[in-house]
């Protein structure tokens, strides 16, 4: 199949791009810059320059495609530059869906986020849910939505994921690790390879039609346990922690964090302390996954970070 792929230059996109190529598909990749922005070089890749916020920039680019995988999303807003959750998640998805429909593409696989809901505590979660409504209401002959939890796996250069960012910004530089509240809120990490496998299977898997999957791993881990595993995966001894009361932490993140002076933004903070778990049984079953667990051996890639 010729698959139109947005977000191909991002962390998850690089995994999905490799999986598409390995399965014999032809990826047509929307890039804001050039093909040099992609982590993968392959003659089968068809780069298209454009921006999801500007539909005129990719007019006609969907012609001849059989399916779309839409990944574009942000975790931090930069309103002064026009980078907002509403613009990227909702308006951008509207533009991609409209272009796919105009080109007669009838298969659409969309990346949302775990915790997406209309009453979400952050604009990130609410706009992710709004984008889901755009996709599910578009009357595609075949559509699937994934809500990934915390992703892990070796990142390409300049594409850090959660674990490598925590290692770089928190665990390596600080002798004592600040933990918001008691640190028992749970995360359910999922390997990027398993997510990429499911996305590509979903293009043709009939059981995935009209399904919304929580894409998460099999283990629910307290945040403090995640910190310990990251340290050990990087070949370090876990460091002592200092617990910061949630009201004080929330005040600091909502002030200093908004200036970009902390390794976490207000939306990231709220989603972290809320926990990030869900029922992943359908995800693991329908795609026949033998998931890579969030273990110290599977985090050894952090030693070189």
Q: Which pair of structure tokens corresponds to residue 201?
A: 């299977």
pLDDT of amino acid 211: 98
27: left (phi over 0), alpha (psi -120 to 50) or beta: beta
DSSP string, 17-81: HHHHHHTT-EEEEEESS-GGGSS---TT-EEEE-BTTBGGGGTTTTTT-SEEEE----SS-BGGG
From 185, 189, 164, select the one nearest 270 (Cα to Cα).
185
pLDDT of amino acid 132: 98
Measured CA to CA, the distance from residue 32 to residue 4 in angstroms comes to 14
* The dihedral sign for the CA sequence 254, 255, 260, 262: negative
Contact in structure between 202 and 137 (CB atoms under 8 Å): no
Instruction: Decide: pTM greater than 0.85.
Output: yes
pLDDT digits (tens, 9 = 90+) for 23-73: 999 999 999 988 889 999 999 999 999 999 999 999 999 999 999 999 999
pLDDT of amino acid 78: 87
pLDDT of amino acid 268: 86
Measured CA to CA, the distance from residue 48 to residue 43 in angstroms comes to 14
Measured CA to CA, the distance from residue 85 to residue 87 in angstroms comes to 6
Measured CA to CA, the distance from residue 234 to residue 305 in angstroms comes to 8
Buried b (16+ CB within 10 A) or exposed e, 189-217: bbbbbbbbbbbbbbbebeebeeebbbbbb
| Residue 282 CB neighbours (<10 A) | 15
Measured CA to CA, the distance from residue 102 to residue 26 in angstroms comes to 20
Under 8 Å CB-to-CB from 255, ≥6 apart: which residues?
none
| Residue ranges of domains in the chain | 2-156+190-217+277-292
Residue ranges for the chain with pLDDT beneath 50: none
Under 8 Å CB-to-CB from 45, ≥6 apart: which residues?
17, 21, 27, 28, 29, 35, 38
Fold of 2-156+190-217+277-292: Rossmann fold (3.40.50)
Total number of residues shown for the chain: 305
């Amino acid at each position: 199949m010729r698959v139109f792929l947005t977000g191909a230059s991002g962390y998850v996109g690089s995994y999905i791009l490799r999986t598409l190529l390995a399965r014999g598909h032809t990826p047509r990749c929307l890039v804001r810059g050039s093909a040099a922005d992609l982590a993968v070089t392959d003659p089968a890749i068809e780069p298209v320059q454009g921006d999801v916020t500007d539909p005129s920039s990719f007019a006609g680019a969907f012609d001849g495609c059989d399916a779309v995988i839409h990944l574009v999303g942000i975790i931090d807003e930069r309103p002064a530059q026009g980078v907002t959750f509403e613009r990227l998640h909702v308006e951008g998805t509207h533009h991609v869906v409209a272009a796919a429909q105009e080109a007669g593409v009838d298969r659409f696989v969309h990346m949302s986020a775990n915790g997406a809901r209309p009453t979400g505590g952050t604009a990130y979660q609410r706009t992710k849910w709004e984008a889901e409504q755009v996709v599910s209401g578009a009357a595609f002959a075949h559509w699937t939505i994934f809500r990934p939890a915390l992703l892990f796996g070796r990142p390409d250069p300049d594409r850090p994921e959660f674990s490598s960012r925590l290692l770089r910004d928190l665990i390596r530089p600080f002798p004592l690790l600040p933990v918001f509240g008691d640190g028992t809120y749970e995360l359910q990490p999922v390997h990027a390879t398993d997510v990429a496998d499911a996305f590509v299977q979903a293009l043709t898997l009939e059981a995935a039609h009209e399904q919304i999957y929580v894409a998460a791993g099999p283990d629910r881990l307290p945040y403090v346990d995640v910190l310990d595993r990251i340290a050990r995966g990087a070949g370090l001894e876990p460091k002592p922690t200092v617990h910061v009361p949630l009201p004080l932490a929330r005040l600091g993140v909502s002030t200093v964090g908004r200036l970009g002076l902390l390794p976490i933004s207000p939306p990231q903070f709220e989603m972290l302390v809320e926990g990030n778990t869900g029922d992943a049984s359908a995800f693991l079953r329908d795609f026949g996954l033998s998931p890579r667990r969030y273990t110290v051996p599977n985090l050894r890639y952090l030693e070189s970070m």
